[in-house]
Structures are given as C-alpha cells and as structure tokens.
C-alpha cells in the first residue's frame, strides 16, 4: 500500500505511553510529535496506548497512526500487527522488522549476514551470568529485548566477580564483548542516511544521559575521518535494509579510534528512535534542512499498511 499524502491524511492518531519500561520517554516523544503535527496542519488525536487501544483507534477514526511508542508492545511488532489487522496506515517499521530489531541476538545475526561488523556475544541464563564470568572481562550484560539502555551492566576489565543482576532482569540475557571507543549514531530516513552524530558523556550513555537535559553532548556532524563517516553512513543504511526497516530508523556504533576502520562495530538499530527535545534523529534532520514539524509530516506521509 502506498504512503498516505497530506491531502488524504487529515486526522492523525499519535500512539504514546503504553505499558513498557520506556513509558515516560514515549509520553515525551508523543507530546512533541503531536504538537509538531498540529503545527504541520494535521488534526491530532493523542492516545495513551492501553488495553483498550483498538477501541480507542476505532473511535478516533484516524487517516494514519503515528507510532510514538517505545519498548515492548510498541516497537517489537505487537502494535504493528494490531494496526495491520485494523487496516490503519501507520509509521515506522512493520511487524517483522520491528520484532527482528528488538531481538538483539537475531538482529546481530542479520547484520553479520549483511557483512556488518558486530561485537561477539551470546545468550546466557541470568543464574549462569551471576555464577561466573561468561566472557572474559570487559563485557556487557543487557536484556535481549529492551531499549534506552535499560538494565545494562558493564563488567570492567580485571573484575574479580560476575555482576549481581537486578530481580527484574529477564531469565535469559545477552552477554556481549565490551566495544570500547567513541559513541556514534546515524539516522536513516527512507532510503538515505542523514548524518553521523558523536555522543559525548562524562560516563557511559545510560538512560539518564539519554533523556536528561545536559546528560550528554551531541557533536553533529561528528568530527571523524572521511573513511569512518562514510562507513557509518553505509553501515546504517545496510542495517536498515537488512532488517527490512521502513520510515525512520537509527543505528548506534562504537569506534575504537586506534584501530581505524577495524575498530568500528554496529551495536543495534532502533526502529522507533526517540523524538524528545534531547533526541538524536531530529537533530540530524535539522542539519539536513528539515525542521521538526517537517520531519513529522514526512513520517506521516510515509505511513502505510503492509509494512
């Protein structure tokens, strides 16, 4: 199904909130997008996505749905399947790409198959991770299907004991070799990579650094050798295609500068990038000459079913 146009998408439902651990971030993204879409000339219905979301959507009768949900149920293919069932054009990636990107292990397999460099890693039980070092330190332990750096443990080099994981960590987690270096990210809009941003923080890029004003400093475009800039842009677009993403996505990288191109690895691709005042994709779009209302308009006009 072709994307909707501004002439046919007058009424847009913005899905936000939801029940995931990223609810607060989604509410912020949703409010920002709803305001921008009103500036862009759309009639907007904001919906906090709960168990009655299907009924709320039927009542709203939108021409298109802007998906501003983050985390489980919102970016893992679940709500996408519901929107396909309701035959409502929606934004961002479809069922398969969303589910694949949310599963970090399967996404890394898709990246590797596409010739992209990834960090070594494996799935392990929570009990095993707390009993012994599953990988030689330094390594990272994180949920296999969460975003926003939630539940991430960094085990430093020389650590004598394995990490003690929180009770709410899943029973199966991803253990991954620590990728040192500079934090880089690239947004892809449709069929083009926008720019490379370097994220500078005092510590590591955790949840607070991502969503607290002043928690991180973004350098865009990043001051990098042309070889690394071009590789990041190429890898992000290839990751977008390998997963089958649609609309807007954002891929994150680490670059260990002393190792040149061999030091660049892709960490993950986010199919629902944050759209908050401190988010990265809107910054890259602005550098490309697209202000926030124009970016939100583009995303809505790209909406479709069968994504």
Annotated active-site residue in 72, 246, 250, 297: 250
Asked if 2 and 56 count as a contact pair (C-beta separation under 8 A), the reply is no
Active site (annotated) includes residue 139: no
- Could you give the CA distance from residue 17 to residue 33 in angstroms, rounded to a whole number? 13
pLDDT tens by residue, 34-80 = 999 999 999 999 999 999 999 999 999 999 999 999 998 999 999 99
User: In terms of Cα–Cα distance, which of 278, 102, 88 is closest to 197?
Assistant: 278
User: Which residue in the block uniquely carries the two structure tokens 């209302």?
Assistant: 293
Active site (annotated) includes residue 259: no
The mean predicted confidence, pLDDT, of the chain is 92
4-13, 188-197, 207-216: lowest mean pLDDT where? 207-216
pLDDT reported for residue 1: 44
pLDDT tens by residue, 152-192 = 999 999 999 999 999 989 999 999 999 999 999 999 999 99
Tell me the pTM.
0.91
Active site (annotated) includes residue 176: no
How far, CA to CA in Å, does 20 sit from each of 24, 26, 146, 155? 9, 9, 9, 26
Annotated active-site residue in 139, 207, 211, 235: 211
- Could you give the CA distance from residue 21 to residue 15 in angstroms, rounded to a whole number? 16
Strands (E), 133-178: 139-143, 153-155, 172-177
Active site (annotated) includes residue 274: yes
Supply angle C-alpha 277, 278, 279, rounded to 5.
95
Query: 202 pLDDT band (50/70/90 cuts)?
Result: confident
Annotated active-site residue in 63, 182, 274, 302: 274
Active site (annotated) includes residue 22: yes
Residue 71, C-beta contacts closer than 8 angstroms, at least 6 positions apart: 18, 20, 21, 22, 23, 26, 146, 147, 148
Annotated active-site residue in 26, 187, 216, 270: 270
Asked if 185 and 252 count as a contact pair (C-beta separation under 8 A), the reply is yes
Annotated active-site residue in 17, 18, 20, 22: 22
Annotated active-site residue in 146, 198, 252, 301: 252
Supply angle C-alpha 166, 168, 171, rounded to 5.
95
Active site (annotated) includes residue 148: yes
């Amino acid at each position: 199904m072709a994307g909707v146009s501004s002439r046919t998408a007058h009424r847009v439902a913005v899905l936000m909130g939801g029940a995931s651990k990223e609810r607060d971030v989604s509410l912020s993204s949703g409010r920002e997008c709803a305001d921008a879409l009103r500036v862009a000339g759309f009639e907007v219905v904001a919906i906090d996505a709960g168990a009655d979301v299907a009924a709320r959507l039927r009542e709203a009768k939108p021409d298109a749905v802007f998906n501003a949900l983050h985390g489980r149920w919102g970016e893992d293919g679940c709500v996408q399947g519901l929107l396909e069932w309701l035959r409502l054009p929606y934004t961002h990636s479809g069922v398969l790409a969303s589910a694949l990107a949310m599963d970090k292990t399967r996404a890394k397999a898709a990246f590797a198959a596409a010739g992209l460099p990834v960090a070594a890693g494996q799935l392990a039980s929570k009990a095993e991770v707390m009993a012994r070092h599953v990988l030689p330190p330094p390594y990272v332990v994180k949920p296999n299907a969460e975003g926003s750096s939630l539940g991430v443990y960094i085990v430093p080099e020389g650590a004598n004991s394995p990490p003690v994981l929180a009770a709410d960590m899943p029973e199966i987690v991803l253990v991954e070799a620590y990728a040192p270096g500079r934090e880089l990210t690239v947004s892809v809009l449709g069929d083009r990579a926008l720019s490379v941003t370097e994220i500078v923080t005092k510590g590591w890029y955790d949840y607070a650094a991502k969503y607290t004003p002043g928690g991180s400093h973004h350098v865009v475009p990043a001051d990098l050798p042309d070889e690394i800039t071009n590789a990041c842009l190429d890898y992000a677009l290839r990751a977008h295609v390998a997963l089958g993403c649609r609309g807007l996505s954002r891929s994150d990288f680490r670059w260990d500068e002393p190792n040149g191109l061999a030091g660049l690895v892709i960490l993950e691709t986010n199919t629902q990038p944050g759209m908050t005042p401190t988010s990265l994709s809107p910054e890259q779009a602005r550098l490309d000459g697209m202000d926030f209302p124009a970016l939100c308009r583009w995303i809505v006009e790209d909406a479709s079913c069968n994504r």
